[in-house]
Structure 1
């Protein structure tokens, strides 16, 4: 572990002497081609020199990626570079990825994105400041490999999309939505698109790295691992025709309402989300029925908007907390449950273990973690539970297990999830699909009864304590959601469709 900053003599000389900086700039600029695309990799003090360099590049030189390793730019020693945050040459620098170890004292334990928003921070665990340690990390290797040898043109001729295991479907759907967000981005928002595409590539690299670190049996269950190109450029093709409209609806609600590439906190305008969702549906839906892609997407967006109005009146940002990015939402609405339960588990134990593993901030909205994405079943509960207890008892066991998991969620997780549940039910009924309102009501009423008992005990034993107050908030949220679900059929709602600004 790096516990202290070593000799900073060179850094101080560079920071305090303009003539030294000028001499270094001349030396570096002499090595840069006057007209070409380059990838810049800079370590430690070199990252400061690279930041200085960005506004002094030859006119026809383009930086495909700036990769900084162990950068000290979070330090106030380099505050003279703060103007780079407002004068960043987006037109000539496609991406800036900063790799740092929070234990590396040279980085002050921080990334640089807080000071330079155009940068994307990637945290690694190498416990060293050496360039060898940073460059040897798989994430850095994958990143540089993609930049130097990867497919640069998403529309270039690609081999046919290959078949992948069902365990990858939800992950690929998340990347497919992110792909459409990139493709539907307005031309004038080129800087947003560059940053977003950088996040897409990093997210894909992280998924692959996590799989490589998994044990042999987990990798075997998942089957062939998608490539970065599969995630970034082909995801839509790889999940085309996978879901019926009924199964796709809660996933569409999840994608529309969740942060697109967590843990990156990337803001997306509601109109942009709607346009991207429409494009996604056009690419992945089965061609069945008379519902158009725009009608489907608009029903999703409007239902989310109405649910948010009902359960989040103060308009706080909640979508980042949509638990499980659709997996728990599937369970609670009774739709597409084959996508929730891993084949290796059975019965209530499977449900409890699966739901407990979901949470906000996971990859692709937490749709399914790679650990649990080991396959997909085909029924309400796994075959083992049905064989042991019978179909009816297994269904009750499932509902009670889900209700129990619901009562354990934090307030903001619960709020986002309930918004998602209400939105799914409203969209189902607005589009004339089979409603799962009765199933959702049973689950919520079971959860409400359990929570009421716990709240009474906590009120007696620990009145006015923060934990008791938090439990009361959860009970109130459940009560409000149940009230909303007992309202009139949203198909009778004649109010105009509007999407309010973020």
Structure 2
């Protein structure tokens, strides 16, 4: 028979006159109530060990040495697995809400240790023999093997951190939760303890620290500044400094209770309910692009799996695809729910609960057989040129990218030759701008597609698709959301598509003084590649490409001349503008070679008052005659 899991609760500062059972009820009753409200029913399935130690810290006669460190630090592969577990838990709990602390808190933390009620904390930190006696006492209550969950409040969080690497080798920590911890304060940062916590111990599944902005003991911050691998989450425990620090105020919080419950009992029945609102309805254009990007990542993963030299890259990419696919599908489903639209079966099939861990397989993204309203000339160059898993960076050879691109175009019914033409167009566009950059796997960085944010509203794409409370704005900021600038949108929406949004979006971005010359060079690659691909396939090139680049050149030239009249001759800004103008000149020369020059002097026409939109109409008129 399997031994029951143990909940080890380590309390904070306590009056020696407090009865142990009364003191325990102050945290136990609110925690068990919150667990039941969260959907946990079988609360008798685990054993509670709650040592009581106020006297031990106050009046010690026997001195004991600190027990030795037993648990080995995690190796590199274990460190990665720890990050997988903490990432999965982060998805389940949501990103931290970083509240604003109170100005008096750090001063208060430094001062309260001199008050008699908190002398215990000072004694534990400064007296190694006291530490030894307390740690030895706790270890004596624990079995040599089994599974435990540690919850440490206030001083108890310091004890928990100290205890972590001294546990018996056979005792596995399924999760550690610290609440109201002073470990983030400089005063409590003991040198030896900080060294011991440099890496997560191999016996630990994860560590989550909850802090509250109204709690003076948490020193206005979490623990991750001192222990980087800890997941910090802020919760609201009220504004009264005394009540905000109570263990009951923390454990009654739904998120804290859910975290403890998950460590003890796993997911609740509420978590496991699958949406039944999925219907056999078609995916929309936005969803089609997202699935296309995921399909390309999957094909890259397949190609890597056959390469003996890329085994590590394959393992990492498979983990990253799980993260990206979970967040994208979750965001698309939440967007459907938000607009009270039926959810396509395809989205449900490809979704997964990342919170259940990385061991579960990742559903294969569906093949996209038709882009419908999207022009492959505008979509595919961006997809093949930019990193579809940004901000993750995994080396993938050009040969692997080429094979994955061929498979994708064949699935689209475009033949494998189409992929070769797209990649050739990208290479020629890059070479026209800067031959030194040839040979890179991913040509474009986030900056090249940052213009997307400007035109997201006209196009109708949502930049915050991630589920509120689940991923939040951090998902978009990290470029993992479905359509965040520099994330999936970079690979799924080319500059050619941006041009159709109107308002000379590309021209505006290219002439933006805030953009560096390198960013301008990267932004030019996609429209040039689109023009090259159109010519290669005997299609009518989009005239907007020419006119927007010409308009950007006019605007930048004007900025340069204006600043040249007042700036120092060696001005860095002038040098940067000259590099931008050089890049635009190369782009225009490239388009002329392709025959995109409308056949009249655009610059002179524009300077006489014609905007690029007027030039487009004029050019259309010439074409129709």
TM bucket by the smaller chain?
0.5 to 0.7
**3-state SS of the aligned residue for 1:398?**
coil
Match in the other structure for 1:56: 166
| Alignment partners' CA distance in 2, 1:221 and 1:73 | 45
For residues 246-301 of structure 1, the C-alpha deviation after alignment (integer angstroms, 9 at most, x for no partner) is 424413433348414xxxxxxx2423899699779968983433328997998799
Match in the other structure for 1:347: none
Match in the other structure for 1:367: 483
Match in the other structure for 2:551: 446
| Alignment partners' CA distance in 2, 1:45 and 1:190 | 44
Tell me whether 1:408 sits opposite 2:540 in the alignment. no
**3-state SS of the aligned residue for 1:446?**
helix
Maintained 8 Å contact 1:100/1:110: yes
Structure 1 residues 283, 403: closer, same or farther in 2, change over 3 A?
Answer: closer
| Alignment partners' CA distance in 2, 1:197 and 1:95 | 19
Question: Can you give the 5+ residue segments of structure 2 that lack an aligned partner in the other structure?
Answer: 1-99, 270-276, 355-360, 463-472, 595-625
Q: More helix per residue: 1 or 2?
A: 1
Match in the other structure for 1:237: 365
Maintained 8 Å contact 1:175/1:364: no
| Alignment partners' CA distance in 2, 1:464 and 1:241 | 57
**3-state SS of the aligned residue for 2:411?**
coil
| Alignment partners' CA distance in 2, 1:242 and 1:139 | 46
| Alignment partners' CA distance in 1, 2:212 and 2:443 | 30
- Count the aligned residue pairs: 426
Following TM superposition, by how much is the alpha carbon of 1:220 offset from its aligned partner in structure 2, in angstroms?
Answer: 1.0
TM-score w.r.t. length of structure 2: 0.47
Match in the other structure for 1:496: none
Following TM superposition, by how much is the alpha carbon of 1:486 offset from its aligned partner in structure 2, in angstroms?
Answer: 3.9
| Alignment partners' CA distance in 2, 1:257 and 1:135 | 38
Once the two structures are superposed, the pairs formed by residues 275-294 of structure 1 within 5 Å of their partners are 286-291=411-416
Once the two structures are superposed, the pairs formed by residues 333-348 of structure 1 within 5 Å of their partners are 341-342=459-460
Tell me whether 1:82 sits opposite 2:219 in the alignment. no
Question: Can you give the 5+ residue segments of structure 1 that lack an aligned partner in the other structure?
Answer: 152-158, 261-267, 332-336, 345-356, 383-393, 492-502
Match in the other structure for 2:387: 255
**3-state SS of the aligned residue for 2:414?**
coil
| Alignment partners' CA distance in 2, 1:145 and 1:106 | 26
Structure 1 residues 52, 118: closer, same or farther in 2, change over 3 A?
Answer: same
Following TM superposition, by how much is the alpha carbon of 1:166 offset from its aligned partner in structure 2, in angstroms?
Answer: 4.9
Maintained 8 Å contact 2:409/2:418: no
Find the structure with the greater CA-based Rg: 2
**3-state SS of the aligned residue for 1:270?**
coil
**Which of 100, 123, 129 is the equivalent residue of 1:13?**
123
| Alignment partners' CA distance in 1, 2:574 and 2:200 | 47
Maintained 8 Å contact 2:387/2:445: no
Structure 1 residues 421, 138: closer, same or farther in 2, change over 3 A?
Answer: farther
For residues 111-160 of structure 1, the C-alpha deviation after alignment (integer angstroms, 9 at most, x for no partner) is 54454444455677888665646974769959986993299xxxxxxx99
Maintained 8 Å contact 1:34/1:61: yes
Structure 1 residues 21, 230: closer, same or farther in 2, change over 3 A?
Answer: same
| Alignment partners' CA distance in 2, 1:489 and 1:31 | 78
| Alignment partners' CA distance in 2, 1:465 and 1:126 | 59
Structure 1 residues 112, 465: closer, same or farther in 2, change over 3 A?
Answer: farther
Following TM superposition, by how much is the alpha carbon of 1:341 offset from its aligned partner in structure 2, in angstroms?
Answer: 0.4
Structure 1 residues 259, 222: closer, same or farther in 2, change over 3 A?
Answer: farther
For residues 411-462 of structure 1, the C-alpha deviation after alignment (integer angstroms, 9 at most, x for no partner) is 35x73464254167459858966696864443232122123223433454x6
Structure 1 residues 427, 193: closer, same or farther in 2, change over 3 A?
Answer: same
Following TM superposition, by how much is the alpha carbon of 1:219 offset from its aligned partner in structure 2, in angstroms?
Answer: 2.0
| Alignment partners' CA distance in 2, 1:418 and 1:291 | 28
TM-score w.r.t. length of structure 1: 0.56
